[in-house]
Amino acid sequence: MRADPPRLNRRALLAAPIALAACDRFAAIQPAAGPLAPPLKSLVPAPFGATGMTGQLDQPDWVEQILRHCSQLTPEWEQKMERTLGPGFSYDFEPSDRMVAFAGDNGLRVHGHTVIWYSQGSDVFNDDLPRARFAAEYDRYISTFVGRYRGRMAGWDVVNEPVAEDGDGLRDCHWSRALGMDGYMVRAFEQAHAADPDALLFLNEYNLENIPAKGTTFLRLVERLLKLGAPIGGIGTQSHLNIEIPAGQIRDFFRDAASLGLPIHVSELDFPMQRDGGRGPDLRSTAERRAQQVARVGELAEAFMTLPERQRYAFTTWGLRDNDSWLVREEGKNRPDESALLLDAEGRPNPAYQAVVEAFTGRAGA
């Protein structure tokens, strides 16, 4: 079996053609060549995490860097339904078990990703399945999966990406058609809580900072689900940042999110330099792109820092080094020159690393 997925189901990032505000305080930070970056886990005022996959467990350089920088690990693919659920409602948790065991053996806490996602499971949980069987298998999957790791997980992304792409309402999917638009989410949180009462349970979504309307819809959804009794313990903002959004937009979302009083997880942070296609040629210089990255990541780190300590669940990047990113891999975006993370391939600090250090500590980075 391949250690890496045949294809990662990630979505394109929506980019807005808005220039970076000249007054951003982090824009002057430049690349730093030389020594390895000081450990992020000692600089971030919360658990610092990254994603990993089973194939990387056999890469000594990856293991060394993960243990150097991280206090938390998120399985990138091993806990997604395309890997755990087979025909006839058969289960295979072996890759997930390996990731959880690696974390436990090395003193890392684990954040589970993800239990219910609109993008997966429809081949087994299809529209032809009788509704009573659908509901029973839905409950069994969640209780079996989450319960397998009872007491070993810090938290779970229980429902992933329920909001429509543009923020106009919620996604129609196989889960909502069978169990109701709010019903499938409430049910998932109830089952997960029963299976592991001590884990924090998250609603996780992307483009919340990039598209204000989507952030608003998401936060209203959280409020509604809480009123319906869903045991939501935290909210996850993936933070796949569009580095061209206006200054202040990230800060505004965090201010609104913090008002709910729940722990907040920056759950999948990256910040691509390259735009997705369809918008014509990108004439920005490398220096301009780096300045945009640094400004937006600095704003994100500052916004996270302003949260009360009890609301800082974790700060997680989607991959640790540039070469670990789904944006670089062939089965992802296949952009070999992309640099969208805090560390370069050798573990040296990228410019955005300096912005994170400055935001969290008030001093310049390495």
Per-residue pLDDT of 144-163, as tens digits, reads: 999 999 999 999 999 999 99
Cα Dmax for the chain? 61
Q: Tell me, yes or no, if 299 is annotated catalytic.
A: no
- The secondary structure of 140-208, three-state, reads HHHHHHHHHCCCCCCEEEEEECCECCCCCCECCCHHHHHHCCCHHHHHHHHHHHHHCCCCEEEEEECCC
Residue 212 lies in a domain: yes
pLDDT surpassing 60 at residue 366: no
pTM, rounded to two decimals: 0.90
Q: Please identify which of the residues 205, 268, 302, 358 carries the catalytic annotation.
A: 268
Beta bridge partners of 104: none
Closest CA to 210 of 308, 299, 286: 299
Residue 131 has pLDDT above 60, yes or no: yes
Which of 61, 16, 68 lies closest to 42, judged by CA?
A: 68
Q: Can 268 be counted among the known catalytic residues? A: yes
Domain-embedded: residue 110: yes
In a domain, residue 93? The reply is yes
pLDDT at position 364 = 61
Give the DSSP per-residue string, 223-255. HHHHHTT----EEEE--B--TTSPTTHHHHHHH
In a domain, 244, yes or no: yes
Strand partners, 160: 117, 204
pLDDT of residue 11: 34
Tell whether the model's pLDDT for residue 24 goes beyond 80: no
pLDDT in tens, 96-110: 999 999 999 999 999
Is there a domain that residue 14 lies in?
A: no
Q: What is the pLDDT of residue 33?
A: 59
Question: Is 239:267 a contact under the CB 8 Å cutoff?
Answer: yes
- Domain assignment present for 13: no
Percent of all residues in the chain with a pLDDT value above 90, rounded to a whole number: 87
Indicate the number of domains in the chain.
1
Task: Note the pLDDT of residue 34.
Answer: 74
Residue 127 forms part of a structural domain: yes
Per-residue pLDDT at 26: 44
Integer Cα distance of 351 and 166 in angstroms? 31
Residue 266, beta-bridge partner list: 237, 315
Q: 21 pLDDT exceeds 50?
A: no
- Rounded to 10 deg, the angle between the 131-148 and 183-195 helix axes is 40
What does the pLDDT look like over 25-41, one tens digit per residue?
444 444 555 789 999 99
pLDDT at residue number 262: 98
45: domain CATH number is: 3.20.20.80
pLDDT of residue 277: 72
Show the domain range for 185. Answer: 40-275+282-361
Please give the single-letter amino acid code of residue 2.
R
Q: What is the pLDDT of residues 225-256, one digit of tens each?
A: 999 999 999 999 999 999 999 999 999 999 99
Write down the catalytic residue from 78, 161, 209, 299: 161
Confidence (pLDDT) at 280: 78
Residue 19, pLDDT > 50, answer no
Express each pLDDT in 257-309 by its tens digit. 999 999 999 999 999 999 987 677 899 999 999 999 999 999 999 999 999 99
Phi, psi of 201 (to 5 degrees): -110, 125
Structural contact between residues 245 and 18, judged by C-beta atoms closer than 8 angstroms = yes
CA distance 160 to 158: 7
What mean pLDDT, rounded, does the chain reach?
Answer: 91
* Cβ proximity of 167 and 214 under 8 Å: yes
Q: Does residue 132 form part of some domain?
A: yes
